[in-house]
Amino acid sequence: MLESTADDEARMDEALALAARGRGATSPNPMVGAVITNGGVTQGRGYHARAGAPHAEVVALEEAGESARGGRLYCTLEPCCHTGRTGPCATRVVEAGLREVFVAVEDPNPRVNGAGLAYLRDHGVTVSVGLRRAAASRLNEGFFTVQRRGRPFVTMKAAISRDGCIAAAPGQRTALTGPASATHAHGVRATVDAIAVGSETVRVDDPLLTARGVARVRPLVRVLFDTRMRTSPTARIFGTLDEGPVIVMTTEASVRAWPRRAAALEASGARLEVLPARDPALALSRLVAHEVCDLLVEGGAVLQRAMWDAGVVDRVRLYIAPMTLGAGAVPWMTAGGFSMADHGGESRKLGDDVLWEADVQRVD
Ligand SMILES: NC(=O)c1ccc[n+]([C@@H]2O[C@H](COP(=O)([O-])OP(=O)(O)OC[C@H]3O[C@@H](n4cnc5c(N)ncnc54)[C@H](OP(=O)(O)O)[C@@H]3O)[C@@H](O)[C@H]2O)c1
């Protein structure tokens, strides 16, 4: 066991910062960062830039070259020991002659899951696990949730009035929040793998569900929860297929009942995900095959309530506007479903709005 010092913590923090450069680009892979030192001097740095690109350890090893021999590796995730799109990193670490390895957290992928650590130890490398474990787990909450729960990490997002409503009246599109919230929300859209909404939101708002004003490197998957397939084949979202696929969650019974609706949506470019039952947890598990690790559920209240009741919400993010909508407005999940007071959370000002965020289920 290696004792860690303040210098080791600083090196692992640097590796975490490197890993975060891959945000929004690595799914279905995790973000990983690596730093190599020898004699206390940094010899190599690396991060996993996108799925299919070299792993962080390999990038750092290539930069370090011969100066890695006898040195130390700081890695935010257990080095892999299997051959995926790239070769096994644990082998490369041993071949490069590194003597000591700090790993922040074990890789829960069943193909690794301690085998990378065992390989290193079996080949005489001294390994220490757990330095900055919590930060490393949170960095990859999407990847960890897929590996452990078989579904993406789910953030439920809503813009609400001070009296907890999402629209002024049923069927009415209502602008609530200001430009600072919009900028923030599009920044989040730039990094998640997918956005989901309920069919009523599609019918009322006819949203594009794209990330605007920000750079995005991967396709953005849009998921419409629309069992009865009431989405119009001419909905605006079908004009944005070059941004990423549009998946419609429906059921076998609905496709049997409304075959023409199913055919029309497919003709518009939708991909139907046909479930045996209208079950949010089952729908989420289907998204793993679409390489979705981080999902943002943007509304409306009916879909979010179903997700909440199914116990599949990991984080709640609210943009709270400084207005009241009063009687007749559409309440968010506050009526008997969700209480901000039960969840602590953190808030900060965003222009005239307040951003409030709380973890419901944590990965660390
Ligand atoms: N302020 C905000 O942040 C915000 C965000 C979004 C929307 N909105 C507003 O919210 C309103 C629409 O929201 P809404 O709550 O009425 O409807 P919604 O949640 O958008 O959609 C509800 C529909 O989703 C479908 N659905 C599919 N799978 C489901 C499941 N497992 N559980 C439950 N529903 C499922 C159902 O239709 P099927 O039976 O056909 O499946 C259901 O009728 C609009 O006024 C919109 O402008 C506000």
SS3 90: helix
Whether 299 lines ligand 1, by a CB cut-off of 6 Å, is yes
Which atom of ligand 1 is nearest to 299's Cα? 6
The residue whose two tokens read 């900060």 is 348
Q: Which pLDDT score is estimated for 344?
A: 87
Angle between helices 301-309 and 280-287 (to 10 degrees): 90
- Ligand 1 mutation pick, 177, 201, 316, 330, max ligand atoms within 8 A of CB: 201
Q: How far apart are CA 270 and CA 124, in angstroms?
A: 53
CA 355 / ligand 1 centre spacing (Å):
22
What's the sign of the alpha-carbon dihedral 87, 88, 94, 100? Answer: positive
Which atom of ligand 1 is nearest to 205's Cα? 47
Q: Which pLDDT score is estimated for 130?
A: 96
Whether 185 lines ligand 1, by a CB cut-off of 6 Å, is no
SS3 247: strand
> Looking at beta carbons, which pairs linking 323-329 to residues 24 or more positions away fall under 8 Å?
323/161, 323/162, 323/176, 324/161, 324/162, 324/163, 325/161, 325/163, 325/165, 325/167, 325/168, 325/174, 326/163, 328/168, 328/169, 329/161, 329/163, 329/165, 329/167, 329/168, 329/169
Which atom of ligand 1 is nearest to 304's Cα? 19
User: Could you give the residue numbers annotated as active site?
Assistant: 57
Q: Which amino acid makes up residue 274? A: V
CA 32 / ligand 1 centre spacing (Å):
36
Q: How far apart are CA 266 and CA 238, in angstroms?
A: 10
- What does pTM read for this prediction? 0.94
Whether 177 lines ligand 1, by a CB cut-off of 6 Å, is no
- Ligand 1 mutation pick, 151, 161, 163, 166, max ligand atoms within 8 A of CB: 166
Which atom of ligand 1 is nearest to 160's Cα? 1
Whether 2 lines ligand 1, by a CB cut-off of 6 Å, is no
Q: How far apart are CA 116 and CA 56, in angstroms?
A: 15
H or E segment to which residue 73 belongs:
strand 72-75
Q: Which pLDDT score is estimated for 117?
A: 95
- Ligand 1 mutation pick, 181, 227, 312, max ligand atoms within 8 A of CB: 227
| CB atoms closer than 10 angstroms to residue 150 | 11
CA 333 / ligand 1 centre spacing (Å):
12
Instruction: Give every residue of the chain whose pLDDT is below 50, as ranges.
Output: none
CATH number for the domain formed by residue range(s) 145-359: 3.40.430.10
User: Residue 86 — φ and ψ, nearest 5°?
Assistant: -130, 170
Whether 57 lines ligand 1, by a CB cut-off of 6 Å, is no
* Residue among 102, 300, 282, 82 at smallest CA distance from 205: 300
The residue whose two tokens read 């119009």 is 232
Q: Which pLDDT score is estimated for 364?
A: 74
Q: Do domains 6-139 and 145-359 have the same CATH topology?
A: no
Whether 300 lines ligand 1, by a CB cut-off of 6 Å, is yes
CA 199 / ligand 1 centre spacing (Å):
5
Whether 228 lines ligand 1, by a CB cut-off of 6 Å, is yes
| 225 contact partners, CB below 8 Å, separation of at least 6 | 196, 197, 198, 199, 249, 280, 283, 303
CA 107 to mean position of chain CA atoms: 17
Angle between helices 56-64 and 6-20 (to 10 degrees): 120
Burial of 326 (0-12, 13-18, 19+ CB in 10 A): exposed
- The answer to whether 364 touches 134, Cβ cutoff 8 Å, is yes
Q: Which fold has domain 6-139?
A: Cytidine Deaminase; domain 2 (3.40.140)
Q: How far apart are CA 107 and CA 89, in angstroms?
A: 13
**43-57: buried (b, 16+ CB within 10 Å) or exposed (e) per residue?**
bbbbbbbebebbbbb
Which atom of ligand 1 is nearest to 173's Cα? 47
**Every domain of the chain and the residues it spans:** 6-139, 145-359
- The answer to whether 233 touches 264, Cβ cutoff 8 Å, is yes
Whether 196 lines ligand 1, by a CB cut-off of 6 Å, is no
CA 305 / ligand 1 centre spacing (Å):
9
